[in-house]
Structure 1
């Protein structure tokens, strides 16, 4: 097994990707920096969501569910499943947050007339007021956050992140089946959480 140390004892980490287009002079350093920058950017977006929620006395997840309902309710409301897909949170988590938002008077729910097993969620009058009240702050933050970024660049980022999400879903499926990582590592359980 290679030691990854030079003669003078300097450790060189093994490559974390083998695709040639991501390597520069045999190093994955630029790739690693891109990963770290992506994580930092995503953490920043989540912090903004937390701030928006805090302004309304909500958590970041509750804010996402409230805004998701605002954008997806249409004329009749939005199902929990559709809302969960839109805000990219697990359906059980969305169900919990919807319950909390109903308790706070920001959402309402009613039985779906077409699928009697499902419920449809809509903004209450107070929920509409909350969305209206936070909109100027969200708009101001987004204007600053996306300063210097064109619509075309954002579309490229969205396409890239969508592909990354799809690829990650394939990896998680392989982990659950035990095809990618042996169970003894504990990573299978960690990735399923």
Structure 2
């Protein structure tokens, strides 16, 4: 009997994780399935963000910045750095996008009275009207997007979300260090 696999290249079956909590019966298959499902979810989430933005005449990131300001501005406004930190983006990138939103009359900038080197952002009535018109679409889409979650699962996912963002930031830094990359994220 001849060996049919003699000419086939050897498949790398090295584990992609080593933590026991991430291995099932010594295999990383379930971990890899989860990562790929999260990637697919992320792509769809990004596409939904793009759709929401396009619906009100913006890019996805402009929509995200605008709605973040709307939800976080309070009575006195919100600084660019707070928006950048909230969205895990660089301050300079957010500053560029904020400038575009100001030109579109969707955000206002005024000097921060506590630190005259900084500005405070607030939504304009035009932005508030656009976001209000988008609300029914958001509600329907988000209800379907998170339809599988029970209240208990939602609470668990909410708690894990920030933790995963934090660990992803650390993992990205480690990956850049180990691969010698300079990094090029926003």
**Normalising TM by the smaller chain, what interval?**
0.7 to 0.9
TM-score for the superposition, normalised by structure 2: 0.87
Cα contact 1:172–1:192 (8 A) shared by 2: no
Q: Distance in 1 between matches of 2:83 and 2:21?
A: 38
The alpha-carbon deviation at position 131 of structure 1 amounts to 1.0
The alpha-carbon distance between structure 1 residues 131 and 182, as it changes in their structure 2 partners (threshold 3 A), is closer
Q: Measure the CA separation in 1 of the matches of 2:108 and 2:184.
A: 34
Q: 2 CA distance for matches of 1:153 and 1:121?
A: 34
Q: Distance in 1 between matches of 2:95 and 2:144?
A: 32
1:141 lines up with 2:147 in the alignment: no
Corresponding residue for residue 3 of structure 1: none
> Secondary structure at the residue paired with 2:147?
coil
Q: Which residue of 1 aligns with 2:36?
A: 36
**Structure with bigger RCO (C-alpha 8 Å, 6+ apart):** 2
1:6-48 CA-partner distances (Å, limit 9, x unpaired):
8785624211011223223332111100100011111111111
Farther-moved stretch of structure 1 (53-62 vs 145-154): 145-154
Summarize the alignment of residues 52-63 of structure 1 with structure 2, pairs less than 5 Å apart. 52-63=52-63
Change in Cα spacing, 1:172 to 1:87, as seen in structure 2 (3 Å) is: closer
Aligned length: 181
Pick aligned residue for 2:182 from 171, 182, 189: 189
Displacement of 1:175 after TM fit? 5.3
Once residues 175 and 136 of structure 1 are traced to their aligned partners in structure 2, the CA distance between those partners, rounded to angstroms, is 40
Correspondence 1:96 to 2:96: yes
C-alpha distance 150-99 of structure 1, shift in aligned 2 (>3 A): same
The residue that corresponds to 1:126 in the other structure is 126
Structure 1: gaps (5+ residues): 1-5
Query: Could you say if the C-alpha distance between residues 145 and 123 of structure 1 is closer, same or farther in structure 2, counting changes exceeding 3 Å?
Result: same
Provide the aligned C-alpha RMSD in A: 2.1
Provide the TM-score with structure 1 as the length reference: 0.84
Residue 74 of structure 2 is aligned to residue 74 of structure 1? yes
* TM-aligned CA deviation for residue 173 of structure 1: 4.0
Cα deviation 1:147-192 (Å, max 9, x = unaligned): 131232122223323222222333344456x4xx153xxxx22466
Unpaired runs of 5+ residues, structure 2, are none
1:87 equivalent in alignment to 2:87? yes
Runs of 4+ in 1 over 3 A off after TM superposition: 6-10, 171-176, 190-193
